[in-house]
Structure 1
Amino acid sequence: MVDEQKLLTRITVNPEIFGGKPIIRGRRLAVEHVLSMLAADDTAETILEGYPWLEPEDIQACLVYAKRVVGRERIEPFERQSGGCITVEPP
């Protein structure tokens, strides 16, 4: 089993870097950027090739961080559609 707390120690915040956005191990690579690359269908391998200092655990840490953030988020619905589903507007 993955130790999520240990992985999350790889995610840091420095007000001097990207205005305090979460970054990886104090480096100038934002968690948001890694997630954007993954969302754009980049593979972990491709990302690791582009950032030689990055480790697979760093990418895993970004995913754990995102899961934790989304897990705490509550979004107000703005429109009910057929079938009882609710469409939400991302923040």
Structure 2
Amino acid sequence: MNEQELLARITVNPQIFAGKPIIRGRRLAVEQVLGMLAAGDTTETLLAAYPWLEAEDVRACLVYAHRLVGHERVEPLLLETTS
């Protein structure tokens, strides 16, 4: 499955979680999946906890996060110091 197909699994519905990105229209936010992965959960753990979830959904969350971070720009903050 290519990135575009994976990203098609990420949807937005203003009626669910105030329009945050969710997985296939379900009440599971991309943010929640990423948080569980960051906490040490495995894909297998997530699939067991959410029987409707597919491994490609988890990959889609990672692709989505990668795309967001890839477009981030960080500007250095210059602080003026007084002697």
Same fold (TM over 0.5): yes
C-alpha separation between the residues in 1 aligned to 2:52 and 2:58? 12
Q: CA deviation at 1:75?
A: 2.3
C-alpha separation between the residues in 1 aligned to 2:39 and 2:77? 27
Q: CA deviation at 1:65?
A: 0.3
How many percent of aligned residue pairs carry the same amino acid?
72
Unaligned runs of 5+ in 2: 79-83
TM-score after normalising by structure 1: 0.81
Unaligned runs of 5+ in 1: 80-91
* Counterpart position of 1:49: 48
Aligned partner of 1:31: which letter? V
Relative contact order: is structure 1 or structure 2 higher (C-alpha 8 Å, sep ≥ 6)? 2
* Counterpart position of 2:81: none
More strand by share: 1
C-alpha separation between the residues in 1 aligned to 2:15 and 2:71? 26
Q: CA deviation at 1:59?
A: 0.1
* Counterpart position of 2:31: 32
Give per-residue Cα distances to partners, 1:43-88, cap 9 Å, x unaligned.
0000110000000000000000000010011123347xxxxxxxxx
CA RMSD, 1 decimal: 1.2
Equivalent residues, number: 78
Q: Which runs of 4+ in 1 moved over 6 A?
A: none
Give per-residue Cα distances to partners, 1:10-61, cap 9 Å, x unaligned.
0000011001000000000000000000000000000110000000000000
Aligned partner of 1:40: which letter? A
SS of equivalent to 2:11: strand
Structure 1 range deviating more: 67-76 or 35-44 = 67-76
